[in-house]
Chains A and B, each alone.
Chain A
Amino acid sequence: MLPFFQWCENSAVGAAIRGSQWLFPVIESFHLLALALIGGAVLIVNLRLLGLGLRSQPAAQLARDTQPWLIGGLAVMVATGIPLFLSEAIKCYYSPAFRMKMAFLLPAIVFTFTVHRKVAAADEKVVGPLRSGLVALVSVALWSVVGASGRWIGFSG
Protein backbone atom coordinates (compact mmCIF):
# COMPACT_ATOMS: atom_id res chain seq x y z
CA MET A 1 0.00 0.00 0.00
CA LEU A 2 2.84 2.39 0.77
CA PRO A 3 3.89 2.82 -2.90
CA PHE A 4 0.33 3.89 -3.73
CA PHE A 5 0.40 6.52 -0.96
CA GLN A 6 3.80 7.70 -2.22
CA TRP A 7 2.38 8.01 -5.72
CA CYS A 8 -0.53 10.07 -4.26
CA GLU A 9 1.87 12.29 -2.35
CA ASN A 10 3.90 12.90 -5.53
CA SER A 11 0.84 13.64 -7.67
CA ALA A 12 0.62 17.05 -9.30
CA VAL A 13 -2.46 18.01 -7.25
CA GLY A 14 -0.77 17.02 -3.99
CA ALA A 15 2.36 18.97 -4.86
CA ALA A 16 0.36 22.04 -5.93
CA ILE A 17 -1.51 22.12 -2.60
CA ARG A 18 1.70 21.69 -0.59
CA GLY A 19 3.30 24.47 -2.61
CA SER A 20 0.52 26.93 -1.82
CA GLN A 21 0.04 28.78 1.42
CA TRP A 22 -3.71 29.12 1.10
CA LEU A 23 -4.99 26.15 -0.95
CA PHE A 24 -5.09 23.68 1.98
CA PRO A 25 -7.06 25.92 4.38
CA VAL A 26 -9.45 27.03 1.64
CA ILE A 27 -10.19 23.45 0.54
CA GLU A 28 -10.52 22.41 4.18
CA SER A 29 -13.00 25.22 4.84
CA PHE A 30 -15.27 23.78 2.16
CA HIS A 31 -14.74 20.34 3.70
CA LEU A 32 -16.03 21.79 7.01
CA LEU A 33 -19.01 23.55 5.39
CA ALA A 34 -20.05 20.25 3.83
CA LEU A 35 -19.64 18.64 7.26
CA ALA A 36 -22.28 21.00 8.65
CA LEU A 37 -24.60 20.18 5.75
CA ILE A 38 -24.20 16.39 6.04
CA GLY A 39 -24.40 16.59 9.83
CA GLY A 40 -27.62 18.58 9.66
CA ALA A 41 -29.22 16.26 7.10
CA VAL A 42 -28.19 13.12 9.00
CA LEU A 43 -29.19 14.52 12.40
CA ILE A 44 -32.62 15.77 11.42
CA VAL A 45 -33.67 12.35 10.07
CA ASN A 46 -32.12 10.53 13.03
CA LEU A 47 -33.72 12.85 15.60
CA ARG A 48 -37.03 12.18 13.88
CA LEU A 49 -36.44 8.42 14.04
CA LEU A 50 -35.72 8.84 17.76
CA GLY A 51 -39.02 10.73 18.12
CA LEU A 52 -37.22 13.96 19.07
CA GLY A 53 -38.24 16.41 16.40
CA LEU A 54 -40.55 17.40 13.53
CA ARG A 55 -43.07 14.79 14.60
CA SER A 56 -45.81 16.10 12.30
CA GLN A 57 -43.66 15.11 9.31
CA PRO A 58 -43.37 11.42 8.46
CA ALA A 59 -39.76 10.24 8.68
CA ALA A 60 -39.99 9.08 5.07
CA GLN A 61 -40.91 12.62 3.96
CA LEU A 62 -37.99 14.11 5.92
CA ALA A 63 -35.58 11.54 4.49
CA ARG A 64 -36.78 12.30 0.94
CA ASP A 65 -36.50 16.08 1.47
CA THR A 66 -33.01 15.98 2.97
CA GLN A 67 -31.63 13.33 0.60
CA PRO A 68 -30.39 15.72 -2.14
CA TRP A 69 -28.58 17.82 0.49
CA LEU A 70 -27.02 14.75 2.05
CA ILE A 71 -25.80 13.53 -1.34
CA GLY A 72 -24.63 17.03 -2.32
CA GLY A 73 -22.78 17.37 1.00
CA LEU A 74 -21.16 13.95 0.54
CA ALA A 75 -20.09 14.88 -2.98
CA VAL A 76 -18.42 18.08 -1.70
CA MET A 77 -16.83 16.08 1.13
CA VAL A 78 -15.27 13.57 -1.25
CA ALA A 79 -14.31 16.22 -3.81
CA THR A 80 -12.46 18.26 -1.14
CA GLY A 81 -11.26 15.30 0.93
CA ILE A 82 -9.33 13.68 -1.94
CA PRO A 83 -7.10 16.71 -2.70
CA LEU A 84 -6.52 17.26 1.05
CA PHE A 85 -5.43 13.61 1.28
CA LEU A 86 -3.20 13.89 -1.82
CA SER A 87 -1.33 16.80 -0.23
CA GLU A 88 -0.31 14.73 2.80
CA ALA A 89 -0.74 11.10 1.74
CA ILE A 90 2.40 9.80 3.50
CA LYS A 91 1.38 11.45 6.77
CA CYS A 92 -2.07 9.86 6.38
CA TYR A 93 -0.51 6.45 5.72
CA TYR A 94 1.18 6.55 9.13
CA SER A 95 -1.73 8.27 10.92
CA PRO A 96 -3.90 5.98 13.11
CA ALA A 97 -6.60 8.69 12.99
CA PHE A 98 -6.73 8.55 9.18
CA ARG A 99 -6.94 4.74 9.19
CA MET A 100 -9.74 4.85 11.73
CA LYS A 101 -11.60 7.45 9.66
CA MET A 102 -11.40 5.30 6.53
CA ALA A 103 -12.36 2.17 8.48
CA PHE A 104 -15.57 3.88 9.68
CA LEU A 105 -16.30 5.89 6.54
CA LEU A 106 -17.10 2.86 4.39
CA PRO A 107 -19.56 1.27 6.87
CA ALA A 108 -21.10 4.73 7.54
CA ILE A 109 -21.83 5.27 3.84
CA VAL A 110 -23.02 1.70 3.25
CA PHE A 111 -25.23 1.81 6.36
CA THR A 112 -26.70 5.18 5.34
CA PHE A 113 -27.71 4.03 1.86
CA THR A 114 -28.92 0.55 2.80
CA VAL A 115 -30.31 -0.16 6.28
CA HIS A 116 -30.83 3.47 7.28
CA ARG A 117 -32.46 4.45 4.02
CA LYS A 118 -34.82 1.47 4.15
CA VAL A 119 -35.88 2.06 7.75
CA ALA A 120 -36.34 5.82 7.21
CA ALA A 121 -38.48 5.22 4.13
CA ALA A 122 -40.60 2.47 5.70
CA ASP A 123 -43.94 2.89 7.47
CA GLU A 124 -43.17 3.78 11.08
CA LYS A 125 -45.81 1.47 12.48
CA VAL A 126 -44.28 -1.48 10.68
CA VAL A 127 -40.70 -0.76 11.76
CA GLY A 128 -41.46 0.10 15.39
CA PRO A 129 -39.78 2.71 17.59
CA LEU A 130 -37.14 0.34 18.99
CA ARG A 131 -35.71 -0.65 15.63
CA SER A 132 -35.80 2.82 14.11
CA GLY A 133 -34.23 4.28 17.27
CA LEU A 134 -31.45 1.72 17.16
CA VAL A 135 -30.78 2.45 13.49
CA ALA A 136 -30.65 6.18 14.28
CA LEU A 137 -28.16 5.67 17.11
CA VAL A 138 -25.90 3.47 14.96
CA SER A 139 -25.98 6.10 12.21
CA VAL A 140 -25.07 8.95 14.60
CA ALA A 141 -22.31 6.83 16.19
CA LEU A 142 -20.75 5.85 12.84
CA TRP A 143 -20.73 9.41 11.49
CA SER A 144 -19.44 10.81 14.81
CA VAL A 145 -16.41 8.50 14.71
CA VAL A 146 -15.75 9.54 11.10
CA GLY A 147 -15.92 13.24 12.07
CA ALA A 148 -13.89 12.96 15.28
CA SER A 149 -11.12 10.84 13.74
CA GLY A 150 -11.08 13.22 10.77
CA ARG A 151 -10.41 16.14 13.09
CA TRP A 152 -7.76 14.06 14.80
CA ILE A 153 -5.72 13.67 11.59
CA GLY A 154 -4.71 17.28 12.12
CA PHE A 155 -3.41 16.60 15.62
CA SER A 156 -1.24 13.64 14.68
CA GLY A 157 2.24 13.98 13.22
Chain B
Amino acid sequence: MSLLSFCQWLEQTPGSIALHESLWVYPIVESVHVLTLCLFVGTAVLLDLRLLGVMMRRAPVSEMARRLLPWTAAGFVVMVTSGALLFYAIPVRTYLNIFFRVKIAMLILAGLNAWVFHSTVYRRVAEWDLDPVTPKGARVAGGLSLLLWAGIVVAGRMIAYNWFDSPAVH
Protein backbone atom coordinates (compact mmCIF):
# COMPACT_ATOMS: atom_id res chain seq x y z
CA MET B 1 0.00 0.00 0.00
CA SER B 2 1.45 3.36 -0.98
CA LEU B 3 1.35 6.32 1.37
CA LEU B 4 -1.14 8.00 -0.94
CA SER B 5 -3.54 5.07 -0.90
CA PHE B 6 -3.16 4.88 2.88
CA CYS B 7 -4.19 8.56 3.06
CA GLN B 8 -7.09 7.88 0.70
CA TRP B 9 -8.23 5.03 2.95
CA LEU B 10 -7.78 7.23 6.04
CA GLU B 11 -9.91 9.96 4.48
CA GLN B 12 -12.86 7.54 4.15
CA THR B 13 -12.85 6.52 7.82
CA PRO B 14 -15.81 7.86 9.85
CA GLY B 15 -13.54 9.63 12.37
CA SER B 16 -11.76 11.58 9.64
CA ILE B 17 -15.03 12.64 8.02
CA ALA B 18 -16.54 13.64 11.38
CA LEU B 19 -13.48 15.73 12.28
CA HIS B 20 -13.34 17.35 8.84
CA GLU B 21 -16.99 18.32 8.95
CA SER B 22 -17.13 19.34 12.62
CA LEU B 23 -18.07 22.94 13.32
CA TRP B 24 -16.16 23.30 16.58
CA VAL B 25 -13.77 20.41 17.14
CA TYR B 26 -11.49 21.12 14.17
CA PRO B 27 -11.01 24.83 14.99
CA ILE B 28 -10.47 23.97 18.66
CA VAL B 29 -7.82 21.37 17.80
CA GLU B 30 -6.20 23.89 15.45
CA SER B 31 -6.18 26.58 18.16
CA VAL B 32 -4.61 24.17 20.65
CA HIS B 33 -1.96 23.33 18.05
CA VAL B 34 -1.15 27.03 17.50
CA LEU B 35 -1.21 28.10 21.15
CA THR B 36 1.01 25.20 22.21
CA LEU B 37 3.69 27.00 20.18
CA CYS B 38 4.19 29.11 23.32
CA LEU B 39 4.85 26.10 25.50
CA PHE B 40 6.81 23.99 23.03
CA VAL B 41 8.72 26.35 20.75
CA GLY B 42 8.80 29.06 23.43
CA THR B 43 10.65 26.90 25.95
CA ALA B 44 12.87 25.30 23.28
CA VAL B 45 13.85 28.76 22.03
CA LEU B 46 14.82 29.88 25.55
CA LEU B 47 17.29 27.01 25.83
CA ASP B 48 18.62 27.73 22.32
CA LEU B 49 19.17 31.38 23.24
CA ARG B 50 21.10 30.31 26.34
CA LEU B 51 23.21 27.94 24.21
CA LEU B 52 23.93 30.84 21.87
CA GLY B 53 25.02 32.90 24.87
CA VAL B 54 22.54 35.73 24.25
CA MET B 55 20.21 35.17 27.20
CA MET B 56 20.47 34.20 30.87
CA ARG B 57 24.22 33.85 30.56
CA ARG B 58 24.63 33.34 34.30
CA ALA B 59 22.17 30.44 34.52
CA PRO B 60 23.68 26.92 34.51
CA VAL B 61 22.83 25.28 31.18
CA SER B 62 22.12 21.92 32.83
CA GLU B 63 19.61 23.50 35.20
CA MET B 64 17.82 25.26 32.38
CA ALA B 65 17.67 22.01 30.43
CA ARG B 66 16.46 20.03 33.43
CA ARG B 67 13.75 22.56 34.30
CA LEU B 68 12.65 23.48 30.79
CA LEU B 69 12.76 20.17 28.96
CA PRO B 70 9.80 18.60 30.82
CA TRP B 71 7.68 21.55 29.61
CA THR B 72 9.12 21.31 26.10
CA ALA B 73 8.36 17.57 26.13
CA ALA B 74 4.81 18.14 27.39
CA GLY B 75 4.32 20.75 24.66
CA PHE B 76 5.72 18.30 22.10
CA VAL B 77 3.18 15.63 23.12
CA VAL B 78 0.31 18.12 22.72
CA MET B 79 1.77 19.28 19.38
CA VAL B 80 2.08 15.76 17.96
CA THR B 81 -1.36 14.72 19.20
CA SER B 82 -3.17 17.81 17.89
CA GLY B 83 -1.06 17.75 14.70
CA ALA B 84 -1.92 14.10 14.07
CA LEU B 85 -5.63 14.93 14.48
CA LEU B 86 -5.32 17.83 12.02
CA PHE B 87 -3.66 15.49 9.52
CA TYR B 88 -6.31 12.83 10.19
CA ALA B 89 -9.04 15.37 9.34
CA ILE B 90 -7.55 16.19 5.89
CA PRO B 91 -5.10 13.39 4.97
CA VAL B 92 -4.88 13.38 1.17
CA ARG B 93 -4.60 17.13 0.62
CA THR B 94 -2.10 17.46 3.45
CA TYR B 95 0.00 14.56 2.20
CA LEU B 96 0.23 16.13 -1.26
CA ASN B 97 0.96 19.62 0.12
CA ILE B 98 4.55 20.72 -0.45
CA PHE B 99 4.70 22.80 2.76
CA PHE B 100 3.63 19.79 4.80
CA ARG B 101 6.45 17.73 3.29
CA VAL B 102 8.99 20.49 3.93
CA LYS B 103 7.71 20.71 7.51
CA ILE B 104 8.11 16.97 8.09
CA ALA B 105 11.63 17.04 6.60
CA MET B 106 12.60 19.91 8.92
CA LEU B 107 11.04 18.11 11.91
CA ILE B 108 13.29 15.12 11.23
CA LEU B 109 16.32 17.41 10.96
CA ALA B 110 15.37 19.17 14.22
CA GLY B 111 15.06 15.78 15.92
CA LEU B 112 18.47 14.70 14.59
CA ASN B 113 20.00 18.00 15.72
CA ALA B 114 18.65 17.54 19.26
CA TRP B 115 19.83 13.92 19.34
CA VAL B 116 23.36 14.81 18.17
CA PHE B 117 23.55 17.65 20.72
CA HIS B 118 22.43 15.48 23.62
CA SER B 119 24.69 12.59 22.70
CA THR B 120 27.85 14.70 22.14
CA VAL B 121 28.41 18.23 23.53
CA TYR B 122 25.76 17.94 26.22
CA ARG B 123 27.40 14.79 27.63
CA ARG B 124 30.24 17.03 28.82
CA VAL B 125 27.97 19.81 30.08
CA ALA B 126 29.60 19.71 33.54
CA GLU B 127 32.75 21.19 31.96
CA TRP B 128 30.98 24.24 30.49
CA ASP B 129 27.79 24.53 32.53
CA LEU B 130 28.50 28.03 33.84
CA ASP B 131 30.35 29.43 30.81
CA PRO B 132 28.51 32.50 29.47
CA VAL B 133 29.83 31.53 26.02
CA THR B 134 29.17 27.84 25.38
CA PRO B 135 31.39 25.53 23.24
CA LYS B 136 31.08 25.81 19.49
CA GLY B 137 29.12 22.56 19.17
CA ALA B 138 26.48 23.85 21.58
CA ARG B 139 26.22 27.18 19.76
CA VAL B 140 25.83 25.42 16.41
CA ALA B 141 23.13 23.14 17.86
CA GLY B 142 21.28 26.12 19.38
CA GLY B 143 21.45 28.12 16.14
CA LEU B 144 20.33 25.18 13.99
CA SER B 145 17.48 24.46 16.37
CA LEU B 146 16.29 28.09 16.23
CA LEU B 147 16.41 28.14 12.42
CA LEU B 148 14.68 24.78 12.04
CA TRP B 149 11.85 25.54 14.47
CA ALA B 150 11.28 28.93 12.85
CA GLY B 151 11.13 27.18 9.46
CA ILE B 152 8.75 24.56 10.85
CA VAL B 153 6.36 27.24 12.18
CA VAL B 154 6.38 29.08 8.84
CA ALA B 155 5.95 25.90 6.77
CA GLY B 156 3.18 24.78 9.11
CA ARG B 157 1.28 28.03 8.64
CA MET B 158 1.71 27.70 4.86
CA ILE B 159 0.01 24.27 4.73
CA ALA B 160 -3.22 26.26 4.50
CA TYR B 161 -2.17 27.36 1.00
CA ASN B 162 -2.31 25.14 -2.05
CA TRP B 163 -0.07 27.18 -4.36
CA PHE B 164 2.09 24.21 -5.32
CA ASP B 165 -0.38 21.36 -4.85
CA SER B 166 -0.51 18.65 -7.44
CA PRO B 167 -3.59 19.10 -9.69
CA ALA B 168 -4.53 15.52 -8.79
CA VAL B 169 -5.93 16.78 -5.47
CA HIS B 170 -8.61 18.97 -6.95
Residues of A at the B interface (CB closer than 8 Å) are 21, 25, 28-29, 32-33, 35-44, 47, 53-57, 61-62, 65-66, 69, 143-144, 147-148, 151-152, 155
Contacts and interface: CB of A to CB of B under 8 A. Distances in A.
A151 B31 contact: yes
B158 A65 contact: no
A25 B158 contact: yes
B54 to A, nearest CB: 9
Contact of B34 (A25, A42, A147): A147
Contacts of A148: 31, 35
Interface stretch (B63-71, B87-95, B103-111): B63-71
* Chain A contact surface mostly: helix
Contacts of A144: 35
Contacts of A61: 58
A75 B42 CA distance: 16
A66 B64 CA distance: 13
A57 to B, nearest CB: 6
Given A37-B42, A40-B41, A44-B43, A151 B30 contact: yes
B157 interface: yes
Contacts of B39: 39, 43
A33 B67 contact: no
* Chain B contact surface mostly: helix
A91 B161 CA distance: 20
Contacts of A55: 67
A66 B157 CA distance: 26
Given A36-B42, A36-B45, A47 B163 contact: no
Nearest to B158: A25
Contact of B153 (A32, A38, A40): A32
Contacts of B58: 61
Nearest to B30: A151
B114 interface: no
A39 B42 contact: yes
Contact of B31 (A42, A44, A152): A152
Contacts of B63: 54, 56-57
B37 A39 contact: yes
Contacts of A62: 56
Nearest to B45: A40
Contact of B38 (A29, A43, A57, A66): A43
Given A25-B157, A56-B60, A32 B37 contact: yes
B116 interface: no
B45 A37 contact: yes
